């Protein structure tokens, strides 16, 4: 997916762009970010922690 975002193909029919947009809309961003936090905290405990400021980003 990274290569498709960084190097999109130019087409007059926009099929590859449509496919990329659909993949991005279906991507599970929340699960990915949770996995990254878990991975980073595995190597450096409490490296990433929840914000207790009450603001919802």
- Return all residues near 1 (Cβ < 8 A) that are at least 6 apart: 20, 23, 24, 27
Q: Kindly state the average pLDDT of the residues 46-57.
A: 84
In this prediction, residue 23 carries a pLDDT of 93
Residue 16 lies in a domain: yes
Q: What is the pLDDT of residue 5?
A: 87
Residue 54 lies inside a defined structural domain of this protein? no
pLDDT digits (tens, 9 = 90+) for 14-41: 888 899 999 999 999 999 999 999 999 9
CA 47, 32, 55: angle at the middle one, nearest 5? 60
Question: What is the number of domains present in the chain?
Answer: 1
In a domain, 35, yes or no: yes
- Evaluate whether residue 34 is within a structural domain: yes
Compute the average pLDDT of residues 37-56. Answer: 90
Residue 48: inside a domain: no
pLDDT of residue 1: 83
pLDDT value at position 57? 64
Residue 50 domain-assigned (yes or no): no
Q: Which domain holds residue 16?
A: 2-43
Rounded to two decimals, the pTM is 0.65
């Amino acid at each position: 997916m990274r290569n498709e975002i960084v190097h999109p193909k130019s087409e007059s029919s926009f099929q590859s762009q449509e496919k990329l947009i659909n993949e991005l809309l279906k991507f599970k961003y929340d699960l990915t970010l949770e996995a990254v936090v878990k991975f980073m905290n595995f190597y450096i405990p409490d490296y990433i922690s929840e914000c207790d400021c009450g603001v919802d980003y």
